[in-house]
């Protein structure tokens, strides 16, 4: 399919100017469907990062003084500009990381909604009045911004995740230095163009692309950084936490998941199958909330498995720009290789591959990273594919004798991001809500997804720090001042 997207080189955005890196080098963004270049971004140096942080540092006082309502109005303007470019940015996302076009449009629309939600925060309260024991005094709290916030985001949601970090950071009075994943930096640059056109003051939002070792680590270690918010792998997140803790700055981490779905014996199996397919295979399974382990009570195991395989056979895989395609390619060669690695690990450890798992070849598949989504059974809790995050379209089926065992199996992982159950029994629902070790608890719904006005985050190794999205974001991006006033 021919596209109208122009292949071009995107610069850094520092102090309200688009600047090329002094390195003279660029990073090529590759379309995983055909290995063609989507665009180019700067392979920046430490000097560009220093310029960006310095610009944010110099801008923070005036930005704080502008006031919350005025800051919100700029987010409203950004939302309008993003909405005008929705189709273009969604198409760029599909080309850059393989998500199907309907999914990409949905994500971009969500980004617009997030901007408008936080724009509305500009007119909401920023503190509370508290009774004082002194009848002649007034005591209240107010929120103060942290200062310069570093934002490091992954490639799998190149519009929604940056916006749900940047928008609250800005409306609550912080300035931002944003480093996106290189694999999706072209889409991120288009989003930043919308912020730039909205008219934010100099230095309030800065955008720098480059390697994680230079730009990412340099941002975390920068002495003028006041907070860091990161979404990505657990291993990198742990290094972010160590560096931030050593410097005594605030940090927020969203990392991996090994999300379980429990299918109880009294579940609506058709509903459960539809949700498992969507939660496990949409976006090629490349979501931190993707359904990875499906734990089924023995009484309905065989029937559920058959229905799941039959539904999986109907999935169409191809270029996400084409109509009728249900699942696009893996986002990169690295993700493609990871998928193949875990397929072999599953087989070698004794799991039985009952559907898919092969590389798709021939015709349009020859030039891309296309795979057929995989379903394993006879998976034991200690197997690698039952414990490690694969970040690909792989589902592990696990039998459970009853609900108690199913919940124990679901909790048998170091992660605790999202979990769901399918059942018609209210007692089972209540037990699941109380006993499951996950930050996102879903009943008769897929494990993936959360509404933008609700807190997002997990337990155990999945998250560290306060929650993202909704009103909960205020807890990370601000500090509380308690004020006591008494007349002289």
Give the closest residue to 249 by CA, choosing from 219, 274, 272: 219
Angstrom distance (rounded) from CA 262 to CA 428: 11
> Which CATH number is 9-255+462-486's, of 3.40.605.10, 3.40.50.1450, 3.40.50.720, 3.30.70.20?
3.40.605.10
| CATH architecture assignment, domain 259-451 | 3-Layer(aba) Sandwich (3.40)
Q: How is 144-166 classified by DSSP, letter by letter?
A: EE-SEEEEE--SSSTTHHHHHHH
Predicted pLDDT of residue 488:
83
Predicted pLDDT of residue 5:
67
Report the Cα 358 to chain-centroid distance in Å. Answer: 27
Helix (H, G, I), strand (E, B) or coil at 447: coil
Q: What is the pLDDT of residues 125-152, one digit of tens each?
A: 989 999 999 999 999 999 999 999 999 9
Determine how β-strand 17-19 pairs with β-strand 12-14.
antiparallel
Greatest Cα pair distance in the chain: 84
The reply to whether 254 belongs to the active site is yes
Q: What is the pLDDT of residues 104-129, one digit of tens each?
A: 999 999 999 999 999 999 999 989 99
Predicted pLDDT of residue 1:
42
| Regions of the chain where pLDDT drops below 50 | 1-2
Predicted pLDDT of residue 86:
98
| This prediction's pTM | 0.96
The H-assigned helical ranges of 215-332 are 217-221, 234-247, 269-281, 298-313
Burial code (b: 16+ CB inside 10 Å, e: under 16) for 98-123 equals: bbbbebbbebbbbbbbbbbbbbebbe
Strand partners, 230: 152, 253
For the chain, which residues make up each domain, given as ranges? 9-255+462-486, 259-451
DSSP 372: -
Give the closest residue to 103 by CA, choosing from 360, 339, 285, 276: 285
Predicted pLDDT of residue 2:
45
Which of 48, 254, 377, 468 is the catalytic position?
A: 254
Q: How far lies 265's CA from each of 300, 303, 424, in Å? A: 6, 11, 9
């Amino acid at each position: 399919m021919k596209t109208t997207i122009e292949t071009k080189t995107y610069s850094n955005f520092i102090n309200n100017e688009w600047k090329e890196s002094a390195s003279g080098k660029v990073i090529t963004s590759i379309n995983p469907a055909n290995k063609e270049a989507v665009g180019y971004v700067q392979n920046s140096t430490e000097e560009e990062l220093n310029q960006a942080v310095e610009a944010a540092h110099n801008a923070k006082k005036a930005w704080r003084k502008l006031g919350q309502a005025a800051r919100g109005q700029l987010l409203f303007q950004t939302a309008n500009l993003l909405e005008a470019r929705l189709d273009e940015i969604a198409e760029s996302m599909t080309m850059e990381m393989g998500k199907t076009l309907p999914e990409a449009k949905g994500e971009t629309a969500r980004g617009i909604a997030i901007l408008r939600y936080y724009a509305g925060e500009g007119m909401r309260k920023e503190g509370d009045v508290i009774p004082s024991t002194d009848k002649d005094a007034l005591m209240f709290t107010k929120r103060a911004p942290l200062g310069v916030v570093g934002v490091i985001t992954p490639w799998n949601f190149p519009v929604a995740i940056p916006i749900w970090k940047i928008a609250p950071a800005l409306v609550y009075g912080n300035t931002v230095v944003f480093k996106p994943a290189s694999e999706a930096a072209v889409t991120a640059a288009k989003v930043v163009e919308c912020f730039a056109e909205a008219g934010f003051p100099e230095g309030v939002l800065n955008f720098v692309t480059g390697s994680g070792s230079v730009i990412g680590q340099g941002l975390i270690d920068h002495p003028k950084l006041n907070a860091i918010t990161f979404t990505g792998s657990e291993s990198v997140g742990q290094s972010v936490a160590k560096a931030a803790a050593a410097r005594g700055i605030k940090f927020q981490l969203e990392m991996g998941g090994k999300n379980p779905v429990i299918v109880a014996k009294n579940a609506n199996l058709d509903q459960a199958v539809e949700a498992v397919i969507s939660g496990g295979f949409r976006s090629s399974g490349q979501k931190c909330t993707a359904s990875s382990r499906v734990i089924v009570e023995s009484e309905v195991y065989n029937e559920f498995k058959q229905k799941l395989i039959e539904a999986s056979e109907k999935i169409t895989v191809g270029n996400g720009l084409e109509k009728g395609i249900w699942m696009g390619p893996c986002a990169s060669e690295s993700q493609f290789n990871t998928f193949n690695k875990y397929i072999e690990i599953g087989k070698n450890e004794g799991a039985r591959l009952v559907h898919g798992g092969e590389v798709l070849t021939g015709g349009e598949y020859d030039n891309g990273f296309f795979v057929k989504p995989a379903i394993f059974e006879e998976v034991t809790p200690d197997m690698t594919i039952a414990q490690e995050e694969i970040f690909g379209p792989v589902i592990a089926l696990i039998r459970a004798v009853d609900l108690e065992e199913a919940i124990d199996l679901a909790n048998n992982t170091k992660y605790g991001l999202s979990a769901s159950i399918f059942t018609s029994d209210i007692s089972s629902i209540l037990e699941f809500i109380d006993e499951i070790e996950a930050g996102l608890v879903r009943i008769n719904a897929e494990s993936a997804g959360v509404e933008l006005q609700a807190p997002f985050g997990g337990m155990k190794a999945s998250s560290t720090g306060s929650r993202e999205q909704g009103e909960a974001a205020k807890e990370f991006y601000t500090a509380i001042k308690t004020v006591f006033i008494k007349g002289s």
